[in-house]
Structure 1
Amino acid sequence: MPTVTTATVSTSDMLPHKPSSKGSSSTEATLQSLYNRAARAFLHRDVAITFTLLSAAFALLPPPLAPSPDPLDAHRRKWDILRITLETTVFSSTPDIADLPRPLRESLLLSPQFFISTLYARSLTLFTPSSLYRKPSSAFLPHQVLITLVASSIKIDCPSVGREMTEDWLSKRGQYDFIPSTGEPYHKVLELYCLHVLPRLGEWDYVKEFLSYENELSSDKRRELHLALEGQHAQTLESTRRKTPKPETPPSPSPSPTPIPPARSLSPASSSSSSLSTTSTRTAVPASPRPKLTRPQSSSSTSAVSDATITRSPRHRHNQSMPRGSSSASGVRIPRLPPVDHSLAIAPQPPTSLALIRSYFNHYFTANRIATLSVLFFLIPLLSFVLRRRRRLETPADLVRRRLLEARGDSIVRRLWNELVRAVLDTARMGGGGLV
């Protein structure tokens, strides 16, 4: 946003002159002059000058007195549209806050929904006659101002507020004849409502239902809205389909080829079983090669068992189709499957507490760890006890000897070794003397 400059336009030129005795004609001329300068400043993006001229103009534009045509109606409409456009532009952009007037800076702190609602309430107050002691009504709102407010709600992504304003205007229009609300104004409001507000809310079915019940527009206008709505809906679906990523289908595994069994030497005795095996193998083709058998079997029995396991129903139909006395049917014997051991399917019982404690001790208390713990908690305390007892029985000569040894400056290892040898000898001596 450019820096505000006031060198080209002086303050005296921006402020309106006091109306003379000519009355409303002088006020209209002043408002027209201010509007030309405000529109020029807005086109040059001079927010400060535009806002100053807007404040000066609305000081001369009070609400109408009575619900009747007013000479200032056109000026109210133009100035209100300019004010809504300026504030929406500032709100939807990132201007330099330091150069903005204080009211515009405060409006930036509002939420989009509250911002549009505030503009709408202000416009209702501006156009509602002051002689009516009731709540401001949208029945007095010009359709140009309503379209500007709805477009502002779409611009700042608040179509729900625009829908409420439009539906309120449609429900209260036509109460006053001097407010145009039929014909072209109604068509423009309805076009904005059906093609811009409701589609942004995803209300495609509601729009079609609304247009099917609408009977005020001409058939040509209604057809135009239907065609435009269908084209917009198709375009939206196409863009949604393009934006939606397609799920990646995993590549289907290629079927592994069925291994061809090696040629077998057929004996006359097993000709019937071999022919039946070949027939059943061709009727059921597995998706993966069969696992190899671990136990050696004869060729005829292996073929018969595998064929009977895979395709049992074809064999059953084949047997039904043959007479009972045929040699091919009697030559095939299908072994029965072994009974299933249901005891194997029983869920294992949880381990007992004793088993858990035993596994814990087996894991942590190994032979090496037990030896280490024995040295730490048995031998070392025993040696310490012996040394303390020996010191209690030391004679003055022993104390002198120990001090002389300390004065010699022997190493700690040698001193410990001497003390250990002396303790062992003293213990053996006292044990031999019967003192222990």
Structure 2
Amino acid sequence: MRRWLAVLVFISLAAAIAAQDNACPALQTEALNNIASRCADQAAGTLCLGHPTVAAIQRPPSSSAAARKPGDTLPVDSLDWLAISTEDRTWGAARAVFPAYAGDSLETREATLVAFGNVALYFPPPVEPPSPLINLTVTASRGAYLRAQPRLDAQIIAPLPVRTQLKAIGTSPNGNWRLVYAAPNQRGWMSQSVVSTSGNTLPVLNADSDIIPLWLPGQIFDFHSGIADAPCDGAWNSGILLQAPNFTTPTYFEINGIRVLLTGSVWLQAQISSGALIHVIDGAARVTAADVTRAVQRGYKVSVPLAIADDRSIQAEAAPTDPVPYDYQRLSRLPVHTLIQPSRVSLALYTLATPAPRDGSSPLSYMSSEDPCKIVAGRDGANLRSRPDPAAPIIAVMAYRDSALPVSRGIGVDSLPWWKLAESVWVRVDATSFAGNCNAIPLIRPGL
């Protein structure tokens, strides 16, 4: 039975800490820096503590020693539930690194989960398949069909191209069909004539065999977190950073019953009253709930209504909302340095910039010296960065003739002038053209 009632009480008590703690945000910084330093050599398949206020409950009969101090680790596959809190005027943080299935061929990718603040996670016990998984490959030059039953007139689940990698778990009683997985939640039958043969013996399974979800430990979890609970200015709200490799086939996750196919990084929060909030800070995601899928690009978020299910878990209740830009300034300081792969908090460009005119004209045409200062990206575009530094992450790119209104200007670390478009949004002057009363734009000291 899930321990959600106890976990919710745990979070509620932890959230009652006074916001005026003099140590804030030093405790948060220390906990997250511990992840970057003391967990630097963290092995795959482990959870590493950034601060002692992490209650990691293992599933019996685990023999792993308890994790008590920063840098201590536990096997991810031993975890039952994890509660991270700010009790005793401290601030919890932990990082899990684990393999996860990705792509149509179910190859594995290394995923990273960083939880901080007031967060509780439940990890369902792993389900063992009835036999070892056998790798098969679609060999038919025109591809093949994954079918719902082991017969040629059965419903087609999906067409699969040649060289698709599959995981086989069984064979039909007549030996002519293989029961395979094409994705963690996509199982069906393939004719033996269209896949590679294997010398391994597969168990005989009938067409009505139970569906076994093919998830690796850490790839599926339920969670609950604080929302707007930063204890002081400069501190972070509670939540989870989840990362899968970018620029590859998407990695599968199931979070509170929500299917997420991810390439890049997301920031997650969840409460019954607010729903699950999924912010795509880098890369892209496809979010599915209630049979509705939303494609979410970096700089955007969706929310999914949540409800308490019969088993007391917190599950998706309805479809995801349409994607909308998130508040970049609120998220710009997320601790992405704790992730394994380099990441960034991206900006939805046209929340600050105006697209280039459709007629090809310059946005600076007909401007007078009395008009408000306007900048326009040059032919090579203009990179927006999180600080006036050419080494800072690129958070968005203005296309040729996109325009924006600067709020201030300053000298960057490269000793060159930069425009500031908003908090943590900078563009170098030499990447732009400008017109209007730009001398009126305030000059601020370097680094601001």
Give me the TM-score of the superposition, normalised by structure 2. 0.25
Higher relative contact order (CA 8 A, sep 6+): 2
Larger radius of gyration: 1
Superposition TM-score, scaled by structure 1 size:
0.25
- Structure with more of its chain in strand, by fraction: 2
- More helix by proportion, 1 or 2? 1
